[in-house]
Structure 1
Amino acid sequence: MLTWIILALIIGLILWVRVAPSDANQWHVDPETVEKGARPNQFLMRDGQDANSLVFDMPPAELAANFNDVALSKPNVVVLDGDAKELFVTYMQRTKLMAYPDYISVKVTPEEGGKSRLFVYSRSRFGRSDLGVNKARIQDWTAALGQPVAQ
């Protein structure tokens, strides 16, 4: 009997992470100003953090649209909140096997000379370690945008 109870709890937990609601008020955060939490399952691309923000030689609207196209071309990615036209979006990507949600907040700001700066905050909702997934995701997505300009 105890085995069945434990099995039911495990199955319940597995199902919960797949269907747990995602509150946009909690996860749609500004990567330009957010403070990272204590858990190591996150990656913040902002000057002085895990990686510096990137500057691209294109207007903000174009960079935001290009990033949106890259993000939505990846498997299991949806927009949680925001809009590329507003230059601030949070995406949710579910992991392949367990469907755990990861949240990726992206902000584009204008720079002098028609350039734009990209800030990204990627983090896992569940678990302590992400095994480098958030860093790899941001490196992959930003590489797909082309070469940033020297800062």
Structure 2
Amino acid sequence: MRWIAVFVVVLGVALVAMAGYVRLAPSDADRWHRFVTPGPPGDSPTQGGFTARRVVEGDPQTVMTTLDAVAQDTPRTRVLAGSAEDGFVTYVTRSAFWGFPDYTTVYLTRNDPQAGGATTLTIHARLRFGQSDMGVNGARVRGWMDALPAGVLQSPAE
């Protein structure tokens, strides 16, 4: 019976230590605030992440400013690096219970040859810990895009 109590205490301490590390580990802007490999407009789900690229139909700076307001209005989200004015910003969004950080980088590529010379908005979301985000990054990216006014982004099929 004593071994069970010791095991439970050790397990509890390990869980508290893990939770503390996940919540308190610093976020290195140099590691997360980066462009991704260029690609054509559309969605690209990956293990633990999601990338969406859309051709901008409206004013690119207005799209970026509006998207920044949507992102900063998302619960548990803050800016890690960059700014909407620069057209390149990375956000950290933490899960409610454990505080797992997900990083979302948003940027504009002006006169993108992959988009026929138009301006492309890229939203690249990925997790830091683990291997599966259970679809939360894709859902967040789609939610951010859906919150933009109609007609400012071209659908990927166009």
Q: Do the two structures share a fold, i.e. TM-score over 0.5?
A: yes
Q: In structure 2, how many angstroms separate the alpha carbons of the residues matched to 1:56 and 1:32?
A: 19
Matched residue, 1:16: 21
Shift of 1:120: 1.0
Q: Residue type matched to 1:98 in 2?
A: W
Q: CA RMSD in A?
A: 2.0
Structure-2 change in CA distance of 1:18 and 1:95 (3 Å): same
Q: How many residues align?
A: 138
Shift of 1:149: 2.8
Q: Residue type matched to 1:121 in 2?
A: H
Matched, 1:145 2:152: no
The 5-angstrom pairing of residues 116-135 of structure 1 reads 116-135=119-138
Q: Residue type matched to 2:32 in 1?
A: W
Shift of 1:97: 1.6
Q: Residue type matched to 1:79 in 2?
A: V
Shift of 1:110: 2.9
Query: 1:30-53, CA deviations, whole angstroms, 9 ceiling, x for partnerless residues?
Result: 13549xxxx7111122xxxxxxx2
Matched residue, 1:54: 54
Query: 1:100-151, CA deviations, whole angstroms, 9 ceiling, x for partnerless residues?
Result: 1100001113349xx6321011011111111111111111101111332354
Q: In structure 2, how many angstroms separate the alpha carbons of the residues matched to 1:19 and 1:106?
A: 24
Q: Report SS of the residue matched to 1:86.
A: coil
Q: In structure 2, how many angstroms separate the alpha carbons of the residues matched to 1:97 and 1:7?
A: 16
Matched residue, 1:50: none
Q: TM-score, normalised by structure 1?
A: 0.82
Matched, 1:44 2:47: no
Q: Residue type matched to 2:71 in 1?
A: A
Q: In structure 2, how many angstroms separate the alpha carbons of the residues matched to 1:24 and 1:109?
A: 20
Matched residue, 2:43: none
Matched residue, 2:100: 100
Identity of aligned residues (%): 32
Matched residue, 1:5: 10
Shift of 1:17: 0.3
Q: Report SS of the residue matched to 2:98.
A: coil
Shift of 1:92: 0.4
The structure having more radius of gyration, on CA atoms, is 2
Q: TM-score, normalised by structure 2?
A: 0.79
Segments of 4+ moved more than 3 angstroms: 31-34
